[in-house]
Amino acid sequence: MQAERNDMSKLYGALRHLGQVATVIGLIIGFPAQAAEKLVLAFGDSLTAGYGLKPNESFPAQLQAALRKDGVQVRVHNAGVSGDTTAQGKARLNWVLRSFPRSPDLAIVELGGNDMLRGIDPAQTRANLNAILADLKRRKIKVLLAGMLAAPNMGSAYRAKFDPIYPALAKQYDARLYPFFMKGVAGNRTLQLKDNIHPTAQGVAVVVRNIMPMVKGLL
């Protein structure tokens, strides 16, 4: 009987050892891969949200797919809200950031288009973006600022005040600037929905292809 107990004790000891080995192997193989996954916050308006598109056709979804295809372990969170102005973005930033278990490795800030379309005073747009970038800098989150350009019909006076907002703030906060989010898409009706404002899935693919090198560099 004692011999049987000794044998069982040895067996349990061996099993515990195997369990410890399995745990170590799991730590080596599994956990670092999860820890290495980068978190990107795509924070913007309808251009980010994917207005008129399927979920997998949105900017965050296509960017994530393209980065992963390139070997970057990343999750791109879609925090775009259609219709958002810079004021509304500023109001919800803290709530969005608090929803994550940790700080994002990169925030892509794409706001201001709705301010421009509504003719909001560029001084207000600048103040709101300033507050957003200041908050992200305080939290030590890298920022890629996606610029916007005023439409020609807004007039030269408005454009002279609006367009310089993005390069000035990027310089002030040491953020990377992607000068015009809709580069290669704006004005090309084959890449835009019928409203001639929002990109099609193919238009988003152009945006992703253009912005990818900068995003990869920051990650």
Helix (H, G, I), strand (E, B) or coil at 85: coil
pTM of the model: 0.84
137-164: pLDDT as tens digits: 999 999 999 999 999 999 999 999 999 9
Q: What is the pLDDT of residue 17?
A: 44
Q: What is the pLDDT of residue 36?
A: 84
**Rounded average pLDDT per 10-residue block, the chain, 219 residues:** 47 42 36 69 98 98 98 98 98 97 97 98 98 98 98 97 98 98 97 97 98 97
Q: What is the pLDDT of residue 35?
A: 52
DSSP designation for 216: H
Tell me which residues are annotated as active site: 46, 195, 198
Q: What is the pLDDT of residue 188?
A: 97
DSSP output for 8-55: HHHHHHHHHHHHHHHHHHHHHHTHHHHHT-EEEEEEESHHHHTTTS-G
Give the number of C-alpha atoms closer than 13 A to the C-alpha of residue 190, restricted to the C-beta side.
2
The C-alpha atoms of residue 47 and residue 146 are separated, in whole angstroms, by 11
